[in-house]
Amino acid sequence: MITVLPGLHLGSASDAADVQRLQASGVTHVLTMDSEVPDGLGLFHTKFVQILDDDCADLLSYLPECVGFVKEALEVPSSSVLVHCHAGVSRSAAVVTAYLMNTCGITLQDACSRLQTLKPDIRMNEEFLRQLSMYEAMGCDVDITCASYKQYRLQKVTEKYPELQKLPREIFASDPSSAGQSSEVLYRCRKCRRSLFRAGSILDHTEDTRPAAFAHKRMTPVQTAISTKCTSYFVEPVQWMEEALLGVMNGQLLCPKCNAKLGSFNWFGEQCSCGRWVTPAFQVHKNRVDEAKGVQIRGITTTKR
């Protein structure tokens, strides 16, 4: 067990099991990042996050509550926190890194360097480092409205539910046709005018996200040429898509009202006309929808094309 900051300790499962040492060190709170709940911590304030140290683990989504737990603990006079996982080199180190970034205002690189100096055996897996980089890009917090975070969550769904027989409800944006009035820009089926998605559901794909993980998706030299024109919108899944997405890896996206073809989806990803790769991809062709902007008239919201 090492002391990272006054009152903040980083350790392993064996450190957490040594109750006498914890008490002697003044530890009052224990945050566990592991696959099983540790025994013998009844004397402490505890928080347990069930997570594995592998590439499929979604550590990013837990960072706000973990950092919050440490913050709240250290606000109590004479309190001290142990953050631990099984070996104390990856999961717990990632959480402590996030805490340093969030509270000390330092970069990911500086936080990693500081921890490495204190504990040279730290070895965070590459996926956790990627997630911490996203955490840094979001201002050392998790913004669930951020396009990159939405895309990240969709990627994690494909890893957790490879057969896609079950999809968590929270990945679906609300159906604008059943929601209340909003000033946000709407996109409607060009054929029947049915509302399909809001502007906030469009996922930016300006960063190069080609499918390095999928050997069968190698691109030809023609495909790799990056143009500047996107002919499709890539969106987060919307509630009306749910039935079409269950149990299949790819297929067509049809208007839920008139059955007009809007585009396609592929959980392995698709390449945009601009040359960028989006994974997973829910693609709506721009020539199949119309943009409807909200107009406020004396307190009444209307829309116009």
- The catalytic residues are 85
- ∠ CA 173-138-53, rounded to 5°: 85
**236 within 8 A of 150, measured Cβ to Cβ:** yes
Report which of 291, 290, 260, 286 is spatially closest to residue 273, judged by C-alpha positions: 286
**92 within 8 A of 115, measured Cβ to Cβ:** no
Interhelix angle 108-118/91-104, rounded to 10 degrees, is 120
**In degrees rounded to 5, what are phi and psi of residue 277?**
-105, 135
CA distance 19 to 56: 32
Which H or E element spans position 64?
A: helix 63-74
CB neighbours of 260 closer than 8 A, spacing ≥ 6? 189, 190, 191, 192, 254, 288
Structure tokens at 53: 């140290």
- ∠ CA 119-114-124, rounded to 5°: 60
CA distance 172 to 194: 18
CA distance 167 to 49: 21
CA distance 268 to 258: 27
CA distance 59 to 90: 11
